[in-house]
Amino acid sequence: MTVLVAAGAEVSVPQPASASAKRPPARAEPILPEAVVPAAPDDARPNGSPQPSVTPSQGEPATGVGIRLLDAPVNRRDDPRAHKYIVDHVKPGTTIKRRIVVENSSEIQRRIALYAAAARVGAEGFEFVPDRTENELSSWIAVEPGEEALATAEETEALVTITVPRDAEAGERYAVIWAEVSGVDGRNVRNIGRAGIRVYLSVGPGGEPPSGFEVSPLSGGRDAGGAPFVTAEVRNTGQRALDLAGELWLSDGPGGLSAGPVKAEAETLPLNGRTTIRVPLDRRLPDGPWAAKLALASGWTKRTATGTVTFGPSPVAASSTDRSEQVLIGGLVASGLVLALFGVFAYRRRVRFREPMPAA
């Protein structure tokens, strides 16, 4: 039996949602799983449905929706990812349940559809598959209710049930639990808004596969505009996908200066994947040297890299030479040449006319 805790809570048993203590649902923001996902082009939409509008047409209220996770396994109470996403490892034949909260953040009453759809982790990170495309994991997921009509700012709970078949092969799988609202404006343009919760589910006998990653030595530099940065290469050495985030500190700089912490993060890193974490810094920081410390974590898997970095001098911008003087000089030279040629021509003509005529 899996014991759950309220996501983000300090207690070890589930707590009912409280109107006075409720947290706001995740809003539609770029990149994060609680994001509004741009619709696929028409030719990529399997059911041929119309292309949703990224922003509502004039006169049509926004199609807004929020979603958040209520439960996390008690054995993951110290794993920040498990309070934001559904992250777990189970044996074949296991059934797990999670409660979620959905809110209508539109200006009018909306019907909100709840469903699971496919996702994948690749070179671009955690990738959402268009529409309601299904994969193996999403086919194991049921969301009840599948649809709910909510007034403005009204919220409701829903139950996510993941039933893993007894013959499921070992491995990690990915999906998204979506809350979707749609509306049609006066021009019959369909506007869709979605918000979702990622699912990272590992299946296999025994304990959870290990997570791990390596961080290369730190290095510093400046971009073309002169702003300093620190970079590090990260490689996933474990058997689960990673969502890396952390902080960078600089100390023992010129004159005893220090800076940080500065936020550092990367896209989801697949198995055996590599990425470069680049932390941009304030352009006013001097070249160094600096003592740098980069602390990264994915869930409860943590690594720290330290080293000495320098940024180097700011690149010298190419000076923009005033070409008007060059044009003026060139014009004068050309005019001088023309006048000289004309003078030579006139002189030769005068000499020729002054020559005496031969006697008859």
pLDDT tens for each residue of 171-221: 999 999 999 988 665 556 667 888 999 999 999 998 889 999 999 999 999
Copy the structure tokens of residue 112: 């909100």
Q: Return d(Cα 74, Cα 14) in angstroms, integer.
A: 9
Q: Return d(Cα 228, Cα 218) in angstroms, integer.
A: 13
Q: What per-residue confidence (pLDDT) applies to 313? A: 80
Query: Could you read off the pLDDT of 333-356 as tens digits, one per residue?
Result: 556 665 665 565 555 555 454 555
Q: Is the peptide bond before 254 cis (omega within 30 degrees of 0)?
A: no
Query: Could you read off the pLDDT of 122-178 as tens digits, one per residue?
Result: 988 999 998 899 999 999 999 999 999 999 889 999 999 999 999 999 999 999 999
- Alpha-helical regions (H) of the chain: 136-139, 324-354
In one-letter notation, the amino acid at residue 41 is P
Query: Could you read off the pLDDT of 60-101 as tens digits, one per residue?
Result: 456 688 999 998 888 888 888 889 999 999 999 999 999 999
Buried b (16+ CB within 10 A) or exposed e, 159-176: ebebebeeebeeebbbbb
Q: Return d(Cα 264, Cα 277) in angstroms, integer.
A: 7
Q: What per-residue confidence (pLDDT) applies to 76? A: 83
Q: What per-residue confidence (pLDDT) applies to 108? A: 86
Query: Could you read off the pLDDT of 291-300 as tens digits, one per residue?
Result: 999 999 998 8
- CA 243 to chain CA centroid, nearest Å: 11
Give the H/E segment covering residue 325.
Answer: helix 324-354
Q: What per-residue confidence (pLDDT) applies to 342? A: 55
At the top level of CATH, the class of 213-309 is mainly beta
CA torsion through residues 162, 164, 165, 171, sign: positive
Residue carrying structure tokens 């200006």 = 107
Is it the case that residue 319 has pLDDT exceeding 80?
no
Q: Is 116 within 8 Å of 133 (Cβ atoms)?
A: no
Closest Cα partner for 85 from 13, 35, 20, 15?
Answer: 35
Q: Return d(Cα 150, Cα 179) in angstroms, integer.
A: 12
Q: What per-residue confidence (pLDDT) applies to 193? A: 86
Residue 94 CA: distances (Å) to CA of 2, 83, 158, 295: 10, 21, 20, 35
What topology does CATH give the domain 13-203? Answer: Immunoglobulin-like (2.60.40)
Query: Could you read off the pLDDT of 7-55 as tens digits, one per residue?
Result: 543 323 333 333 333 444 443 333 233 333 332 333 333 333 333 333 3
Q: Is 5 within 8 Å of 14 (Cβ atoms)?
A: yes
Residue carrying structure tokens 């979506």 = 178
Q: What per-residue confidence (pLDDT) applies to 187? A: 58
> Which sequence spans correspond to the domains of the chain?
13-203, 213-309
Closest Cα partner for 295 from 229, 250, 236?
Answer: 250
Q: What per-residue confidence (pLDDT) applies to 292? A: 97
